[in-house]
Amino acid sequence: MKSMIITANKSTLFGHIRVPGSKSHTIRALLLAALAEGTSTIKNPLASADCISTFKAIPLLGASVEGSPSENSTEWIVHGAGSRAHLPSDVVNVGDSGSLLYFMSPIAATFAGWTVFTGDDSIRKRPVTHVVDALKQLGAEAYITRPDSDSCPMIIKGPISAVNEVTTDGRLSQYVSGMMMAATRLDGTLRIHLTDPKETPYLTMTRKWLESLGATVRMSDDFKEIEVDGNRSIPHFERTIPSDWEAVAFPLIAALITDSELVIDGVDGTGTQGDDAIVKVLQSVGADIVWNKEAETLTVRGMAKAAGTKGYLSTKNLPNGELRVNLSGFPDAVCALAVIACFIDGTTVLEDLGVCRKKETDRIAVLHKELEKLGAHIEEGSDYLVIHGHCPVKSDGAPNEAFTLHGATVESYGDHRVAMALSCAGLALGGISVKDAECCSVSFPHFFEVMAKNGASFKTESL
């Protein structure tokens, strides 16, 4: 894929927009369908880069897939391997998908023999020591092949056993979800002890998936104790993938910081995605957002189009005059929230973010650096960001002279969420050029084209 620079210009958004299906749900659906007995149907799958990597990986376990791994595909049919599932038949190249890496490695460890995991340059920088340690506790042999690295390539020799228990911090939820899925293939009950669980809504998502397929899962209220009963044959299923709240965040913030009225359709109201918390967060500072759960729509009005508030976003009515958001449950929202915090009068504290240093990039450092290029006032800590923002308008709707953000050329570092968030800022400020913006395809294929149909002005330049 060619490197691409996107320049975002001032825009007004309008009409109806539908975001893609959930990446988190799609990857779980593919892996569980691969382990299932019989043929499963996955409707409305997200054909993003991460999900396509999973689509291509599950045949290595003995499953087969019908359907096209393209954005035009509305249905994937998976012929599960079930009792015929086997050790991956080749090296598992996860591409840029940390989700696939962390989900599939515990599953591969349930088989006797060696599995090799690797990926692109980004994956070969993401830590896997926590995976290696957890699988060793369960009886596997697991190693990082490079002595000076904590990242892939990683090799694993199973089988693991539920006779052993595992204690791990659980700050990254994906490998914990992987162990939960792998537990269905083990004899006995797998017991997982988490000392510092984060991203807990995703553990709930995995629990609900497993329970819907007949598995027995016990999870303490604080998520520190998880038990999954094994030796469970997974039945085939038919499932429609709900919309992706992580993707909803970007048209949502874009509409709020521009003179826009936008309806986001197909919004998931099931409560299985922790990122839906962004709605209450933004409503608390005066955002005009109406969530009709029955109609599955979000109506968002920003700036001059906002009802009553005149587009004024402020922390003044919150405790101590600050917006404090603990993001341990939905850390992927940090990019969208950091951007819109720059447009909110007052101080926003995004906290409990340590896990964000281990994502596609060190998102805490990257957001600090790139938003400062736009004139933002930001403080960075080990696991937090403090943004001192100003709304473009005062409470009476008059221009706010304290608002001095401006356009600039910024780096995405190949991180899809960074690229989308900064591009959305450009729709309000104009003149923001985002390098390596093609990475948006990881979670939101054709993001720029979809947004353009609703009034977003983007200029594309290939390098």
- Kindly list the catalytic residues: 332
Distances (CA, A) of 400 to 312, 313, 343, 394: 10, 12, 11, 5
**Residues 6+ positions from 75 with CB-CB distance below 8 Å:** 41, 42, 43, 44, 45, 67
User: Could you tell me the sign of the dihedral formed by the alpha carbons of 61, 129, 223, 140, in that order?
Assistant: positive
What is the CA angle 360-328-429, rounded to 5? Answer: 60
**Scanning the structure block, which residue is given the tokens 């929230």?**
337
Query: 201: cis peptide before it, omega within 30°?
Result: no
Residue 188 gets the label, from left (phi > 0), alpha (psi -120 to 50) or beta, of: left
**Scanning the structure block, which residue is given the tokens 């690229």?**
419
The pair of three-digit structure tokens given for residue 354, joined into one six-digit string: 């340590």
Burial of 57 (0-12, 13-18, 19+ CB in 10 A): buried
Beta carbons within 10 angstroms of residue 43's beta carbon = 14
